[in-house]
Amino acid sequence: MQRGIVVAWREKKPLGGISCICRRWYQSESGVYGYRSKVRKSFVVPEDVLSARNRHSNVYRWVEAYRSHGHNLAQVNPVDFTRKVQTFPELEFSRYGLSEMKEVETHGIISGLSGVMTIKDLENALKKIYCDTVGAEINHIGSEHKKEWLKENFERIRAKRLTKDERREIAELMIKSQSWDNFLATKFPTVKRYGGEGAESMLAFFRQILKSSVRDDIKHIVLGMPHRGKLNLLTIMLQTKPVKIFHKFKGNPEFPADAKAMCDIASHFHVAETLNVDGKEINFSMPHNPSHLEAVNPVSMGKTRSKQQSLRDGAFGEDDTKEFSSEALNLQLHGDAAFPGQGVNQECLFMTGTPHFDIGGTIHMIVNNQLGFTTPSDRGKSSQYCSDLAKSIDAPVFHVNVDDPEALTLITELAYEYQREFRSDVFIDLNCFRRWGHNELDDPTFTNPALYHIIHNRKSVPDKYTDYLVAENEMTQEEVNKIAKGHADFLTSELNQVNTYKPDNWYFRKQWSGMKQAGSEITVWDTGLDYSLLGYIGVKSVAYPENFAIHQHLEKTHVVGRIKKINDGRIDWATAEAMAFGSLMDTTYGVSGEDVGRGTFSHRHAMLVDQKTNEIHIPLNAMEGGLGGKLELANSLLSEEAVLGFEYGMAIDNPYNLIIWESQFGDFFNGAQIIFDTYICSGETKWMINNGLVVLLPHGYDGAASEHSSCRIERFLQMTDSSETQPDGDDINLQVINPTTPAQYFHALRRQIVRNFRKPLIVVSPKVLLRLSEAASVPDDFKPGTHFLPVIGDSSVNPSDVKKVILCSGKHYYNLRAERKNRDLKDVAIVRIESLCPFPVHELNSELDKYKNAKSFIWSQEEHRNMGAWSFVKPRFENLLARRIKYSGRYIAATPAVGVGSWHQQEAQYVVTDPFDAK
């Protein structure tokens, strides 16, 4: 896939002996819709600070050693069974020529301390800051500004103490969490609950995030979160009624009876609630997570960006001073085994700062169980910490002991402030443990006896904290017991309501209020428009400013060529697409997608680049008139899973934006299979979450060998819930089309938005048809009253003369038509199935009824027999149309295509001639 980020050297005035700096930049410094060049905040270390560091250089080096290595001695592991005594010579002050009683002025050396101190007193202070229950990793960061900010504020916040009320609030949350897990263990002992036991302090994290967010008037928080402690969070802080969970645990569906859904397990539940925090409202949404836990992260990022778009946040608005995430904030929770082990995390991190995927930084927390199912921590990674991937994007990391929820609260405040200051990612590594193993039904002592000997012989996290507060006279044991009993009584009352509980139809509300679930019938939607409007859009799609230095080749072939085609009434693929985009934008809808700038096959050119200034111009966004829809083009990093998940996240948030994901070649979808399986194909039936995502997969046997010939149509058809024995309706889970004309593509795109329901659309996209003159569409194909045709019949033959009907799909049609012309056959009809799913039973039946004398029906495809649409078409054709059909195409094979040119030519000839030779 194309990448729209380049590295360039920009001339700067000499600074510290360096005459230029390396920076990442985008082609449009002046900004395009969805992107605005970031303004770097000026920063200079004060002269008095530099002077102090120079005067006490050895002391400063020693302090820096603590900042670099102190985390190695930090007491962050609540269940350390190794008991290894570690020493770090780098932290010994004698190494720097210092003595215990030497006095030093701390100004400029360390924040939060002032005046003169002895080296011994300073050492004690450093150990308290950097080697206690928090370890900080900040010295890997390349930015001096960020590093100085972190040093100052980390040292400041480590000296801060919570109030009595804050401590009691945290204790209450943790007591309720423990009460919840104890209740489930008693009432539902055989149900996997993935509780929060051993990680209860995570609620202190969420408490602080909510309080800090409402203080800054953030409107939306989007959280990507796996199973661990999820139900605790939902029922204690996010307003999910426990009876809903109990109802599910009793084996009941979570949706009303009229919902067409198969449902899912409770630990995959989501939430979308308006919370009241400190007297202010804030919207909190948590997308559903599948059991591929980290797959939710890009989805949460895409949903966050969609919120920012709806709020006109950052580069989506007119205010040049407004940064991304001013009103929408992304949070992600990770598992300690999954974060370094799942490649989607690297993809997400390297996407987070790229144009059109930037969401202004994410606050991450790794719930570090120090165990991956049964795999010990040291066998699940190759580096020191499970969080080390964060260093690849210069993100600060704070390691925190779960037994110190107060420290976690303060570090959360620091992480939030860092994200606000720099709009960059930041990580908290919460070192905790799983009290009962992976899902409470597993016995972890089989494989980790030493670890679990310590876990089973220590107090719980809430008990340790409340014991501390009782000892400090900030709570009494009676108060602790009262909170626990009160929550248990509340849960009992909720459990008693299970038999009368009625699931809520929360879906199709707010921005989805105009939508509904698709019906079992097939509906037809008028997607045609007056050609004068489409012609105007087509011309505007290649317009550029007067002083814009366009590429000479594009001027001739793209600009002049497109205008000529429009005037001649011969519309090619890219022009039809531009007309579809522009017509949707003309009626307020937005269009957004990745890898759509130039187009893999240099046919689209929806964005133009000035050959002198490198500035970007997007013609459709400069189109006058209309109701304000915008086109956002995103040339993505070379990622499949994360980028597709991101686009899916945008699609589930806003049904009025046409969201597109395009593979450079169709087979690239393989790298995103998890997103297809767990979200796109099954998200509605599992969770009643709709999406209208369009997936473009270039497909066609053109001699490119195995990897770039096929988009594996058969796999997508297998993933549909199409029936072999009954006609499909609009309510199939996945649309799969293989269109043969630009007009068909135009209507399919517009239909995605015009309808009052949303279904994902897989477009088996062409390569050779992009410029094939025979495939051009004419103005009448777009006029009002026209629509997408699931079947295109053969108007070139007399139906009564036809003895054989060849059925096919996609660009293969044009090769078959050429062969028929060469043979001058009048008794063979070629029928195109444009929509494979839903399978067009009624349209096919109407078309085939014309051929009363036809004796033979052939399915012709260029894919191998065990691939393509054959295995999908055959049972439906024979069961629903009551006709036998024969196969014609390539043989059974293990790879999509041969890698020898001469063999390919032989096969290409065979798949065209065999349908006519077959009896």
Q: Is 275 exposed, middle or buried (0-12, 13-18, 19+ CB in 10 A)?
A: middle
Using alpha carbons, list the distances in angstroms from residue 614 to 115, 486, 609, 635.
Answer: 54, 65, 6, 15
- Tokens 């004068």 sit on residue: 532
Express the helix, strand and coil content of the chain in percent, nearest 5 each: 40, 15, 45
CA distance to 645, 817, 830, 865, per residue, from 916 (Å) = 44, 11, 11, 18
3-state helix/strand/coil string of 746-803: HHHHHHHHHCCCCCCEEEEECCHHHCCHHHCECHHHCCCCCCCCCEECCCCCCHHHCC
CB atoms within 10 A of CB 777: 21
Taking 60 as the threshold, does the pLDDT of residue 627 lie above it? yes
- What DSSP element (H or E) covers 235? helix 230-236
pLDDT at 157: 95
| Paired tokens of 613 | 């200034």
Which contiguous run of DSSP H or E holds residue 641?
Answer: helix 641-653
Strand-pairing partners, residue 764, are 697
User: Is the separation of the CB atoms in 579 and 537 below 8 Å?
Assistant: yes
Fold of 791-917: Rossmann fold (3.40.50)
Phi, psi for residue 399 in degrees, rounded to 5: -95, 130
Tokens of 454: 């310590």
Measured CA to CA, the distance from residue 584 to residue 578 in angstroms comes to 10
pLDDT tens-digit map of 779-835: 999 999 999 999 999 999 999 999 999 999 999 999 999 999 999 999 999 999 999
Contact predicate 302/634, CB 8 Å: no
Name the residue among 916, 813, 809, 792 with its Cα closest to residue 873: 809
- Rounded CA gap, 96 and 429, in Å? 31
Evaluate the omega torsion of the peptide bond into residue 742 and state whether it is cis, within 30 degrees of 0: no
Phi-psi region of 45 (alpha: psi -120 to 50; beta: other; left: phi over 0): beta
CB 195, CB 256: distance < 8 Å: no
- In this prediction, residue 26 carries a pLDDT of 67
The pLDDT of residue 10: 28
Furthest-apart CA pair in the chain: how many Å?
109
Q: How many CB atoms lie within 10 A of CB 38?
A: 18
Is the C-alpha dihedral spanning 666, 672, 676, 680 positive or negative? negative
Between the CA of residue 715 and those of 647, 667, 669, what are the distances in Å? 21, 11, 11
Q: Which token pair is 231? A: 């139900």
Mean pLDDT, rounded, for 497-503 = 96
Mean pLDDT of 2-10: 28
Please tell me the distance from the alpha carbon of residue 794 to that of residue 830, in angstroms, as a whole number.
6
Q: pLDDT tens digits, residue range 18-40? A: 333 334 456 777 778 999 888 77
Rounded Cα gap, residues 908 and 855, in angstroms = 26
Q: Where exactly does CATH 3.40.50.11610 map onto the chain?
A: 791-917
pLDDT of residue 163: 97
Closest by CA to 331, choosing from 226, 401, 473, is: 226
d(CA 829, CA 799): 8
Q: Between these two residues, 479 and 376, which has the higher pLDDT value? A: 479
Query: What whole-number distance in Å separates Cα of residue 375 and Cα of residue 818?
Result: 60
Q: Encode burial over 245-254: b for 16+ CB neighbours within 10 A, e otherwise.
A: bbbbbeeeeb
Strand partners, 107: none
Q: How far apart are CA 525 and CA 786, in angstroms?
A: 8
Is 80 exceeded by the pLDDT of residue 857?
Answer: yes
Q: The domain 164-506 belongs to what CATH superfamily?
A: Thiamin diphosphate (ThDP)-binding fold, Pyr/PP domains (3.40.50.970)
Helix (H, G, I), strand (E, B) or coil at 333: strand
Name the segment(s) of the chain with CATH classification 3.40.50.12470: 531-781
Q: What is the pLDDT of residue 25?
A: 53
C-alpha to C-alpha distances, 424 to 328, 367, 528, 671, 673, nearest whole angstrom: 14, 20, 45, 27, 29
Q: What is the dihedral of CA 38, 41, 44, 48, to 10 degrees?
A: -160
The predicted model scores a pTM of: 0.95
Alpha-carbon distance 481 to 878, whole Å? 69
Tell me the average pLDDT across 888-916.
96
State the Cα–Cα distance between residues 3 and 299, nearest whole angstrom.
21
Write down the mean pLDDT value for the chain.
93
pLDDT of residue 570: 97
CA torsion through residues 675, 678, 682, 687, sign = negative
Mean pLDDT, rounded, for 142-154: 96
Is the pLDDT at 2 greater than 60, yes or no?
Answer: no
Strand partners, 7: 24
Task: Express each pLDDT in 629-647 by its tens digit.
Answer: 999 999 899 999 999 999 9
Specify whether the CB–CB gap between 49 and 108 falls below 8 A: yes
Nearest 5°: phi and psi at 806? -100, 125
Q: Could you tell me which residue, 29 or 553, shows the higher pLDDT?
A: 553
β-sheet bridge partners, residue 632: 592
pLDDT at 705: 85
User: Taking the CB of residue 849, how many other CB atoms lie within 10 A of it?
Assistant: 10
Q: Coil, strand or helix: which one is 896?
A: coil
What is the rounded distance in angstroms from the CA atom of residue 532 to the CA atom of residue 84? 79
Q: 591 has which bridge partners?
A: 631, 658
Query: Which residues, 6 or more positions from 560, have their beta carbon under 8 angstroms from its beta carbon?
Result: none
CATH 3.40.50.970 domain extents, the chain:
164-506
872 exposure class (CB count in 10 Å sphere: 0-12, 13-18, 19+): buried
Phi, psi (5° rounding) for residue 715? -70, -40
Strands 328-335 and 362-368: parallel
User: What stretch of H or E contains 686?
Assistant: helix 683-687
CATH of 531-781, one of 3.40.50.720, 3.40.50.12470, 3.40.190.10, 3.30.360.10: 3.40.50.12470
Contact 677, 733 (CB under 8 A): no
- Does residue 507 contact residue 561 with C-beta atoms inside 8 Å? no
Check residue 7 and give its pLDDT.
26
The average pLDDT across 722-751 equals 98
- The pLDDT tens digits for 709-732 are 999 999 999 999 999 999 999 999
